[in-house]
Amino acid sequence: MKTLVVTPLPVILGVLLLLSPACSRKAVQSGGDTRALQEEMARGGAKGGASSSFPDTSLSGKDETSSLRGFDRNPLEERLGGGGHSGNGTVTPGNTLMAKSDPGGAARQLAEIRAEQTASAAAGLRDVFFTYDSFSITDEGRHALANDAEWIKSNPQAQLKIEGHCDERGTSAYNLVLGEKRAKAVRNYLVELGVVPQHLSVVSYGKERPFCTEHGEHCYSMNRRGHLVVKVGK
């Protein structure tokens, strides 16, 4: 079966019009300007945390001249990468800088993860495993959660985090949704068993924090899980 596809001229023109501002923005070139970073940090730097207002991300009202200049019979010298001196041909692309994060934040996270692992192992919490594409709790999962529910009820001071995990198959994005469904299925079953919901929180890691990184069903089955963690820190 043959099918004719004709893109109407107005659509093309419309797309070109819409694309033209995007085509003409100044280049962002990575340059790793460490001196500017040091200066920024010396001034206190930008916070790694939240800010109530954020900058204008729109294209409107900005310089729309292309950074390309075309060929010339007598070309002017263009300096690339910023710095130095030159005449009208100067090109000063922006650099990229590493985002300033909470100093020691990475180390603190690692320490908290280790503390959570230790606390969870000491509690004897058992994880729940799922079949491919599924977020239904299996019989084996119900047994594990019966054990977990008893521990939570006898440790009412503890806050429990239920992490939803997926195997490497499928898209990163959809696995975050599937991971949340798994974590919520675990939470809902624990609540059915009489656990107070306020003691439980859920988070989905999709396929981004696998327990096992080989390819194959053994590894996949290890990674499709609801992982129960005794919460440490915030």
Partner 1 sequence: MTLRTLVIAGFCALVGLVWIIESGAADVFLEAARPDFQKIPLAIAGIENLGGTESPEGRVKLGSRIEEVLKTDVRRSLVFALVDVNGLGIKAGQLGAEPDPSFKHAVENGVSVVVWGRAGIKSGNKDSDVNMDGYVYDAGNNEVVGGKRYVGSTSVVRLMAHRFADELVFRYTGEPGIARTKIAYVSELGSARELFIMDYDGYDPRQLTADGFLNLMPRWSPDRRFLVFTTYRNRNTQDIDLLELATGKRWTLVSQGGLNITPALSPDGNFLAYSSSSEGNAELYRMDTHTKAVQRLTTNAGGDLSPSWAPSGRELAFTSDRSGGPQVFLISADGSNVRRLTFEGDYNAAPAWSPRGNWIAYVCRTPRKEYKLCLITPDGQKRVQLTTGPGVDDSPSWSPDGRHIVFSSTADGKSHIYMINTDGKDLERITFTGTHNSAPTWSPAS
**Which residue lies nearer to partner 1 by CB, 89 or 194?**
89
Closest CA to 227 of 157, 163, 171, 167: 163
Q: Is 196 in the site for partner 1 (CB under 8 A)?
A: no
Binding test (CB under 8 A) with partner 1, winner from 43, 87, 173, 217: 173
Binding test (CB under 8 A) with partner 1, winner from 148, 180, 227, 230: 180
The count of C-alpha atoms lying within 13 angstroms of the C-alpha of 43, restricted to the half-sphere facing its C-beta, is: 8
Residue 76: what residue type? Answer: L
Q: Is 42 in the site for partner 1 (CB under 8 A)?
A: no
Calculate the CA 87 to chain-centre distance: 43
The contact pattern for partner 1, residues 115-154, with x = CB under 8 A and - = no contact, is: ------------------x---------------------
Span 67-86, contacts to partner 1 by CB under 8 A: 67-73, 75-81, 83-84, 86
The count of C-alpha atoms lying within 13 angstroms of the C-alpha of 154, restricted to the half-sphere facing its C-beta, is: 9
**Which residue lies nearer to partner 1 by CB, 79 or 142?**
79
Q: How many Å apart are CA 25 and CA 38, to the nearest integer?
A: 28
